[in-house]
Structure 1
Amino acid sequence: MNDQRRSPTVRRRRLGIELRKLRESNEMTAQDVTRSLEWSPGKVTRLEKAQAVKPMVVDTRLLLDLYRVTSDDPRYDELVTLTRQARQRGWWNSYKDVLDDSYVEFEAGAARIHGFQLSVIPGLLQTPEYATSLIRGNLTRDPTEVERLVQLRMRRQELLSDPHPPYFWTIIDASAVMRPFGNVEDQRAQLQRLIDTDHMEHVNIQILPLDAGPHPGLAGSFVVLDFPDEDPSLVYLETQQTSIYLEESEELQRYGMIFQHLSAMALSPDASVAYLKDLAGQLG
């Protein structure tokens, strides 16, 4: 992955994980560190949980000194550099007025994105017309907010045309592509958008037909994000009220198995493209 695709949010998460490992290896609690450095309560936890938007290099140096990581230790420069990378601003900062979640920040730094969509077409593959209809259907009425959200979604899609794009594999329930919206031309354009990915080596689409019957994806959509540099993966679940991030190995394994099961039930990529073309042809 090139440096332009390194997400400060992913760097911040990695920094927190490494700092927690060092603290635990020194058999210190967060309270021990707080007392030793005379920090405010909660600061150590915020750093380790990547809740500090701009971690300070001076704080990282203080922690490394406390954890007896000397300047000639390779980890010293690595973590100081990681801190500087974590302080950078991502393109999504321009959309903070409509962003209330960190998913876009994690997505921007992923090396592999794979998941299942139960009811909607994935945001990375939506046309502006589909995105607009979807956002309005979610009871967003303010025209300015709708426009900003559509702009954000289109900006996210630049990820797939990056010189070093992530591998994107999505399984879409047939109900999502069959659901009408807008006019016939809008629907045809959205289907064509999906069909056109057939020529993209790093994009893989499978359609899960309705006649597949009940399946484990009926519990809801999910996305698994894998990151470079051995950064730990995470599972993203979006609900009506909030977003949930799962990081435990058992949870990652469970959703990995669900994805494999859904992939085996779904149409092959070639058959999925044929299905989409047939669906587009039925629009008249």
Structure 2
Amino acid sequence: MPNQRARPTLRRRRLGALLRDSRNRAGQTLEEAAARMGWDDHTKLSKIENARAHLPQKDVNPLMSGYGVTDQALITAIAGLARGAGKAGWWAPYGDTLAHAYTDYISIESDASGIRFYAPTVIPGLLQVAPYAREVIAATTTRTPEEIDARVNVRIARQSIFSRPRPLKFWAVIHEAVLRQEFPNNPEAMREQLRHLLYVADRPHITLQIMPTPVAAHPGLLGLFSLVEFPAPWPALVQLESIRGSSFMEEPDDVAEFAHAFDRIVAAALPTDTSREVIKTIMEESNS
């Protein structure tokens, strides 16, 4: 596979927006801020704020000091994002196999503290087993077998986020119909997937609910989405998926609306204990 440097554009865009906001709050122009930093050309700062250039870590403290920012937690967070924004992620060796929107999402997923996911059509990628992932990827893309294998490997590798010192908090609501999917050429894939869901449902940082087939109307009727949350000061965002890939919504009002929608979806779904029983029943039916 070709080796290509990751392009964490979403990280850089969020970093640039915060830097621009800090400069504007300080009442400084690009020219004034650049001159204070000893930069001959203010376009360097403009490129950083517009996610087209990397901010070296050594420049974080002087830049923030010049803007009068004294919140050490904020400065530390900016330094961390600046450090991560310039790095190639673990997924970089997969190169052109992965769309830029997908690598963008993996980069922010690795920064996330929590994700809330509504899954009306497919098991969330972070909960998939390899055989199930292979069937889904093969059915929804026009990739070569080698590229499909690479995507499966990436999907499974992403799940290491549950094994880090502070595991990702993951809350998924999965529609019951998803559990009844069939793969005629590999029926064991779905059975293995159901067994895995029962396993992860008992993990303390994972909440799993099933949306029953007979249920009143709820906001989830409009489709799949996930709410991605980060440690302060970074705001949450919404990820939407389609056959063309991922897109993101970052406006606070939009995020709040999706958060409210997820709360209503949770209220319509089965409790966690009942959800486990539904998974067990469907698994037993698939074995008969």
Q: TM-score range by the shorter chain?
A: 0.7 to 0.9
Q: With structure 1 as the length reference, what TM-score do the two structures score?
A: 0.83
Letter in structure 1 aligned against 2:269? A
1:80 Cα offset (Å): 5.3
State how far apart, in whole Å, the 2-side matches of 1:253 and 1:274 are: 32
Structure 1 match to 2:94: 95
Rounded to whole Å, the distance in 1 between the matches of 2:189 and 2:147 is 21
TM superposition shift of 1:264 = 0.6
CA distance in 2, matches of 1:204, 1:76: 30
Q: Corresponding residue for 1:258?
A: 261
Separation in structure 2 between the aligned mates of residue 212 and residue 166 of structure 1, nearest angstrom: 29
What amino acid maps onto 2:112 in structure 1?
A: A
Q: Which range is displaced more, 11-20 or 179-188?
A: 11-20
Query: Structure 1 residue 177: deviation in Å?
Result: 1.4
What SS class does the counterpart of residue 91 from structure 2 fall into?
A: helix
Task: Note closer, same or farther for the CA distance 1:254–1:30 as it changes in structure 2 (3 Å cut).
Answer: farther
Give yes or no for contact 2:61–2:75 (8 Å, CA) kept in 1.
Answer: no
5+ residue gaps, structure 2, are 1-7
Cα distance change of structure 1 residues 63 and 128 upon mapping to structure 2, 3 Å threshold:
same
Match 1:271 to one of 269, 274, 278: 274
Distance 2:161 2:47 in 1: 29
2:180 maps to a residue whose letter is: M
Task: Answer yes or no: is the 8 Å Cα contact 2:16–2:49 preserved in 1.
Answer: yes
Match of 2:136 among 134, 137, 140: 134
1 CA distance for matches of 2:71 and 2:218?
Answer: 51
- Alignment-derived partner of residue 48 in structure 2: 47
Residue of structure 1 in register with 2:126 after alignment:
124
- Is the contact made by 1:119 and 1:173 (CA closer than 8 Å) also made in structure 2? yes
How many pairs does the alignment contain? 272
**Aligned 8 A contact 1:113 1:166 in 2:** yes
Shift of 1:139: 3.2
Q: Would the alpha carbon gap of residues 196 and 82 (structure 1) be closer, same or farther in structure 2, given more than 3 Å must change?
A: closer
Deviation at 1:158, TM superposition (A): 1.3
Structure 1: tracts of 5 or more residues without a match? 1-7
Q: Per the alignment, in what secondary structure is the counterpart of residue 282 of structure 1?
A: helix
1:22 is the counterpart of 2:22: yes
CA 1:139–1:11: 2 relative to 1, 3 Å: closer
CA root-mean-square deviation: 3.1
In structure 2, relative to structure 1, the CA distance for the partners of 1:118 and 1:17 (3 Å cut) is: same
Deviation per CA, 1:114-168: give whole Å up to 9, x if none: 1201100000111111111111101324011001000000100111222321110
CA contact (8 A) 1:226 1:234 kept: yes
Residue identity (%): 33
Report the CA distance shift for 1:188/1:85 in structure 2 as closer, same or farther (over 3 A): closer
Structure 1's 275 and 95: CA in aligned 2 closer, same or farther, altered over 3 A?
A: same
Deviations along 1:1-47, one digit per CA (max 9) or x if unpaired, are xxxxxxx878645532431122211335668868995344xx65552
Distance (whole Å) between structure 2 residues aligned to residue 10 and residue 245 of structure 1: 9
- Aligned letter for 1:24? N
CA gap 1:278/1:49 in 2 versus in 1, 3 angstroms: farther
1: distance between equivalents of 2:115 and 2:204?
14
How far the C-alpha of 1:56 sits from its partner, in A, is 3.1
